[in-house]
Amino acid sequence: MIRRSVLALLMLLSASAITRAEGQGPQTFKDCAECPEMVVIPGGRFVMGAPESESQNRKFGWGGPEIEVKVARFALAKTEITRAQFAAFVRESGYRQDGRCRSIWEKRLSDPAKVSWEDPLWPDGSKQSDDHPVVCIAWEDAMAYAAWLTRKSGGKRDYTLPSEAQFEYAARAGTAQPRPWPGAPEESCKYANVGDRNYLKIIPDYGAIDCDDGYAFTSPVTAFPANAFGLHDLLGNVWEWALDCRTEDLTATPRDGTALQGAPSDCKRRVLRSSGYSSAEWYTRVTTRGGDPVPGTRLVVIGFRVAARLN
């Protein structure tokens, strides 16, 4: 087994070096008023994936085997893209989604066809605020938003989705355990918006973590503490698209931190990372991979954040 403790220490040292060099807090930038705030993530090596002992016979969402990856310096959005940020893109670009969004509780809705990013129709009648993560986002919608950001930057920046390796590296933020916070799974509600007792009250036929995070569905994108890199919601709130094409496991993942974009992957399928407001204990881990959706999949649990390449 790869020695996680040594690589985790190296990651923490590189992160602290950035902070000392830049002064208080992480280095950030924004390319326009309505653009997301981007955090510069220091490069480093880490152990990606989960050991075979966590596979539960390769249960859905496992995210393994363990591999060692070197990630170059890059930038990642501080938060998931919000409703307000996505709305600014739609207004300026005239972008229209092709196809509808599916709910995970359609039997509870009088008209499931009305579900959209503008109103995901939470079954308790509550509404999202502009500072909540946008949902009902397909991979192709996220890529269109990233292309718009590249244009907004005047071409000086290349925005895209994070690779799986970049996402997990950022989510771990120097840690080596399944969750980047201390304690049992019941401690998750202090750090993330997960499937908790609030969700269980409304969707009683679903397993949940026995804790209270204060939200049944999405929460504001800065409602929970940032990790050591200054990033919010790398676990919890909504599932997020990665750039990679889908494979059964991480065996074919590039060891340089870039996205897997060709054989042996299936580019008719893409990758989801993180976890969401409905996620129970098994899925609330830094290694979790969320199924194998087609790029056009839109669900009320799927959002995204963007990455940017740095010179």
Burial of 217 (C-beta count, 10 Å sphere; 0-12/13-18/19+): buried
Tell me the per-residue pLDDT of 245-273, one tens digit each, with 9 for 90 and over.
999 999 999 999 999 998 888 999 999 99
Cα angle: 284, vertex 231, 181; to 5 degrees: 45
Tell me the per-residue pLDDT of 93-149, one tens digit each, with 9 for 90 and over.
999 999 999 999 998 999 999 999 999 999 999 999 999 999 999 999 999 999 999
At 311, list the tokens. 């010179």
Checking if the pLDDT of 19 tops 90, the result is no
pTM of the predicted model as reported, rounded to 2 decimal places: 0.91
Superfamily of domain 4-309: paralog of FGE (formylglycine-generating enzyme) (3.90.1580.10)
Question: Would you kindly state where each structural domain of the chain is located, as residue ranges?
Answer: 4-309
Tell me the average pLDDT across 211-227.
98
Q: Which stretches within 51-196 are classed as H helix? A: 83-93, 139-152, 164-172
What is the pLDDT, as a whole number, of residue 196? Answer: 97
The model's confidence at residue 21, banded by pLDDT at 50, 70 and 90, is very low
Tell me the per-residue pLDDT of 221-237, one tens digit each, with 9 for 90 and over.
999 999 999 999 999 99
